C-alpha cells in the first residue's frame, strides 16, 4: 500500500487519572476512525500522564499502565495506534511507546535519550535504552519485543523517536532508522512550552523528514497537565522536507486530531494544508497562560480566582489573564461547554434564564462569578492606583471590593513599639514598616478566597524574585503564581500590547502609572526602579547571570559594549543584582507554584537550583571593582 492516512492526536491528560486519560484516548481513537485514519500517534506517556514524577519510582503504576493499555488494545479495531506508557523490564524503568495494530500489540519502543536539563529530571525515574538492542518482555500474559524496533504495517516501515530522541542532532535514532528504509517516523512527545519553542521544533522535524526520506508525525501533550509545565498540544506532519499540516496550539478541547493522507511513492501528492499558528511572543504568552489557568482551576476543583488588585502592573496582568481565559474558552467551546468543563453547572442555568446573549456580556457575567478582586488601601495608597484598579475590574466584569487596612497596620505597629519601648520611624525602620503593610493584606484576601472556594493568585514576577523585591507572606501569598516565571520588563510591554490588541481598554490607567509598591508615604514618591534599577537593565543582567551562568566580570564586559548606561552605574547594578540574588534564595524557595513560560525560570523546584546559604559572589564582585 502506497497511501496511508496518518494522524496525531493531542490529549489533555492528568497524572494517574486513569478514567479521564482512558476516555481521552478512546475519544481520539473514535475521532481517528471517523476520519478513516490508518495510523494514529498519541503523546508520550499518554496512559498515566507525563507528570507523575516520583510515582514512577513505584511498582504499581507500571502494572496499572499495562492494564490500561490492554483496554486501549481492545479499542484498536482496524487501526494502528501508538500510545505511550512506562514499562518495567529487568528491574529497570523505561519510557516507551506501544504500537497496536488491529487489536494486536506489535511491541514497545523504548526511549533512548532522556531529558535531564532545565525542568526535566527523567534520569531520576527512567533508564535510557541502548541503540540497536531488542529484547523480549513478558507482559499481559505474552512475550513482546521491546527496544529499538522497526515495525511493518500495511507495507510501510514505521519507527519511533520519543520526544528528547529528536533533540540529539546527529545521534538521534532517526538516522539509523532511515538507513533501514523507515518510511514513517512517529514522535510521541511531552515537550513543555517555552517562548519560541514551536519554531525550533519545526527545524527538528521538517528538515529531518527530508534527511530521513520519510513522513514524520510529531504529537505533543496538551494543557497544564500537572501544575507547572504547560504543553501546547502541537501536531506537526511533514514529508520529504515539506510541512504538510500543523494545528492550532493551546486548544481548550480535551482532544485535538490532525490527519493527512500520505503518498509514500509520490510525496508530491500527499495532502497538504498547514494552518497559520502565530509564534508572536505576546500571543504565545496569553494563550499559554490562559489555558494553564483554566486547567489549574478545573483540575484543582476550584471555583474561580481571587486577586488583591493594587492597580499596578502585576495584579492587573493577572486579572486580564483570567478575563482572557474566560473569553478564549467561551469562544472555542461556547459558554455552556466552557462552564460545564469548569465544573459550574449552576452558572449555566443562570445564564440560560438571563437576557444576556452577546459574547461580551456573557463573558463579563461569567467573569463576575469567577474573578473576585479587592483593593486594600492604606494611607500611602494613591487615588490614581485605586482608580486604575476599579476601572480595570469594572471593564472586564470582575467583582470588585475595596477596604482599608490602616487599622491592622497600626495594631501591629503599636504592639512592636511597646516591645521596643520606642516609636517606629521611616529613617530606622523602613523595610519593616513597608512589609507590614503588604502582610496585613493577606488574611482578608485569603478569607475571601476560602469563602468563594477560589484560588488566590500570587502576583509576584520573575524580576522581583531575582532580587527579593517582594514581601514574603505578602504579594507572594497565593495558591498559584501565574506570572512568576515572566520578567517585569516584558509584562509592562505586554500590558500596553493587551490594551491595544486585545481591546482591554480598562488598562489605560494602569499603563500610565509608574510601577510602585506604594508602601512609603506618598510624598516620598516611591518607584520600583528607584528602589532597584531600571527593569531593562535588570533583565539583561538576569539573562547573562541566570540563563547563561556568567560571573559578574563577564556580564560587565558583555553589557558595557551595548552602552546601556554609564559604566560605573552598570557595575553598581551588577553588584546589586548578585548581592540581592544571593541573599534571597530562601524567598524563591517559598513562592507559590508557577507556570514555566520562558526558556528558563528561577523556581528552584523546576529550573534553577541555588544554595540558600552561599559566599554571595564576594570574590567575583571584587574582580568587578578592579576592572
Lowest pLDDT segment from 95-99, 127-131, 532-536? 532-536
Burial label for 204, CB within 10 Å (0-12, 13-18, 19+), is buried
CA angle centred on 190, ends 344 and 261, rounded to 5°: 95
| pLDDT at res. 462 | 95
Exposure b/e, 402-431, CB count within 10 A at least 16 = b: eeebeebbeeebeeeeeeeeeebeeeebee
Least Cα distance to 317 among 396, 240, 387 occurs for: 396
In which order are the strands placed within the sheet that holds 235-239?
Answer: 151-153, 156-160, 184-188, 215-219, 235-239, 242-246
**pLDDT value of position 54:** 96
Region for residue 90 given its phi and psi (left: phi exceeds 0; alpha: psi -120 to 50; beta: otherwise): left
Residue 109 φ then ψ, to 5°:
-90, 130
215-248 pLDDT, tens digit each:
999 999 999 999 999 999 999 999 999 999 999 9
- 159 within 8 A of 173, measured Cβ to Cβ: yes
Strand segments (E) across 369-498: 371-377, 399-404, 455-456
Task: Give the pLDDT band of residue 1 (cuts 50, 70, 90).
Answer: low
Strands (DSSP E) contained in 380-537 are 399-404, 455-456
Q: What is the pLDDT of residue 485?
A: 95
- Please, where in the chain does CATH 3.40.50.620 lie? 283-405+441-626
Task: Check residue 172 and report its DSSP letter.
Answer: S
Distance CA 445, CA 603 (A): 24
Mean pLDDT over 524-536 rounds to 85
Instruction: Return the CATH number of the domain spanning residue range 3-275.
Output: 3.60.110.10
**pLDDT higher than 90, residue 525:** no
Q: What is the rounded CA–CA span in Å between residue 123 and residue 517?
A: 43
Report whether 306 contacts 450 (CB < 8 A): no
The mean of the pLDDT values for the chain is: 95
356 pLDDT band (50/70/90 cuts)?
A: confident
Domain 283-405+441-626: homologous superfamily in CATH: HUPs (3.40.50.620)
Question: Where exactly does CATH 3.60.110.10 map onto the chain?
Answer: 3-275
Which phi and psi angles does 13 have, rounded to 5°?
Answer: -95, 170
Contact 95, 86 (CB under 8 A): yes
How many CB atoms within 10 Å of residue 614? 12
**Up-side HSE of residue 498: CA atoms within 13 Å toward CB?**
29
Contact 215, 183 (CB under 8 A): yes
Those residues with Cβ within 8 angstroms of residue 551's Cβ, 6 or more apart along the chain or in another chain: 617, 620, 623
As given in the structure block, the three cell numbers for residue 380 are 500611602
Amino acid at each position: 500500500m502506497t497511501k496511508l492516512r496518518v494522524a496525531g492526536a493531542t490529549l489533555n491528560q492528568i497524572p494517574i487519572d486513569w478514567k479521564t486519560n482512558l476516555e481521552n484516548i478512546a475519544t481520539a481513537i473514535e475521532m481517528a476512525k471517523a476520519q478513516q485514519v490508518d495510523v494514529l500517534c498519541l503523546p508520550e506517556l499518554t496512559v498515566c500522564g507525563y507528570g507523575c514524577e516520583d510515582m514512577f519510582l513505584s511498582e504499581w503504576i507500571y502494572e496499572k499502565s499495562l492494564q490500561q493499555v490492554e483496554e486501549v488494545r481492545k479499542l484498536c479495531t482496524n487501526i494502528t495506534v501508538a500510545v505511550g506508557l512506562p514499562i518495567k523490564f529487568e528491574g529497570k524503568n523505561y519510557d516507551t511507546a506501544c504500537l497496536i495494530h488491529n487489536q494486536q500489540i506489535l511491541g514497545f519502543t523504548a526511549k533512548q535519550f532522556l531529558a535531564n536539563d532545565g525542568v526535566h529530571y527523567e534520569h531520576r525515574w527512567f533508564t535510557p535504552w541502548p541503540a540497536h538492542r531488542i529484547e523480549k518482555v513478558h507482559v499481559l500474559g505474552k512475550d513482546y519485543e521491546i527496544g529499538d524496533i522497526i515495525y511493518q504495517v500495511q507495507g510501510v516501515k514505521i519507527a519511533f523517536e520519543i520526544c528528547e530522541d529528536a533533540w540529539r542532532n546527529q545521534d538521534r535514532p532517526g538516522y539509523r532508522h532511515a538507513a533501514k528504509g523507515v518510511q514513517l517516523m512517529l514522535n510521541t512527545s511531552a515537550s513543555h512550552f517555552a517562548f519560541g519553542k514551536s519554531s525550533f521544533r519545526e527545524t527538528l522535524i521538517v528538515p529531518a523528514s527530508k534527511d530521513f526520506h520519510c513522513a514524520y508525525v510529531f504529537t505533543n501533550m496538551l494543557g497544564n497537565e500537572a501544575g507547572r509545565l504547560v504543553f501546547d498540544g502541537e501536531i506537526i506532519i511533514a514529508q520529504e522536507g515539506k510541512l504538510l499540516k500543523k494545528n492550532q496550539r493551546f486548544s481548550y478541547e480535551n482532544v485535538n486530531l490532525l490527519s493527512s493522507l500520505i503518498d509514500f511513492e509520490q510525496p508530491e501528492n500527499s495532502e497538504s494544508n498547514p494552518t497559520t499558528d502565530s509564534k508572536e511572543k505576546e500571543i504565545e504568552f496569553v494563550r499559554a497562560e490562559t489555558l494553564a489557568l483554566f486547567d489549574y482551576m478545573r483540575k484543582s476543583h476550584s471555583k474561580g480566582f481571587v486577586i488583591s488588585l493594587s492597580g499596578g502592573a502585576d495584579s492587573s496582568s493577572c486579572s486580564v489573564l483570567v478575563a482572557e481565559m474566560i473569553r478564549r474558552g467561551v469562544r472555542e467551546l461556547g459558554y455552556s461547554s466552557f462552564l460545564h468543563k469548569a465544573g459550574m453547572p449552576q452558572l449555566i442555568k443562570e445564564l440560560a434564564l438571563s437576557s444576556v446573549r452577546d459574547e461580551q456580556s456573557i463573558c463579563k457575567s461569567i467573569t463576575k462569578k469567577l474573578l473576585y478582586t479587592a483593593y486594600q488601601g492604606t494611607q500611602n495608597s494613591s487615588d490614581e492606583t485605586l482608580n486604575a484598579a476599579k476601572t480595570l475590574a469594572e471593564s472586564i466584569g470582575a467583582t470588585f471590593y475595596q477596604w482599608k487596612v490602616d487599622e491592622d497596620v497600626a495594631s501591629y505597629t503599636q504592639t512592636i513599639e511597646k516591645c521596643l519601648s520606642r516609636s517606629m520611624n521611616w529613617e530606622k525602620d523602613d523595610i519593616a514598616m513597608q512589609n507590614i503593610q503588604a502582610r496585613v493584606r493577606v488574611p482578608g484576601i485569603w478569607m475571601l478566597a476560602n469563602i468563594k472556594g477560589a484560588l488566590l493568585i500570587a502576583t509576584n514576577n520573575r524580576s522581583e524574585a531575582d532580587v527579593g523585591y517582594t514581601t514574603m507572606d505578602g504579594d507572594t501569598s497565593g495558591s498559584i503564581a501565574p506570572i512568576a516565571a515572566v520578567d517585569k520588563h516584558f509584562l509592562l510591554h505586554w500590558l500596553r500590547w493587551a490594551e491595544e490588541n486585545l481591546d482591554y481598554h480598562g488598562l489605560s490607567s494602569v499603563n500610565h502609572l509608574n510601577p510602585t509598591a506604594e508602601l512609603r508615604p506618598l510624598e516620598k514618591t516611591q518607584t520600583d526602579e528607584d528602589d532597584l534599577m531600571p527593569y531593562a537593565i535588570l533583565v539583561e543582567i538576569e539573562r547573562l547571570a541566570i540563563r547563561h551562568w556568567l560571573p559578574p566580570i563577564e556580564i560587565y564586559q558583555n553589557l558595557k559594549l551595548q552602552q546601556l548606561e554609564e559604566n560605573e552605574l552598570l557595575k553598581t547594578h551588577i553588584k546589586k543584582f548578585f548581592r540581592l540574588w544571593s541573599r534571597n534564595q530562601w524567598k524563591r524557595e517559598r513562592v507559590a507554584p508557577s507556570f514555566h513560560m520562558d526558556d528558563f525560570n528561577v523556581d528552584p523546584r523546576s529550573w534553577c537550583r541555588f544554595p540558600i546559604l552561599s559566599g554571595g559572589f564576594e570574590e567575583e564582585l571584587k574582580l568587578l571593582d578592579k576592572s
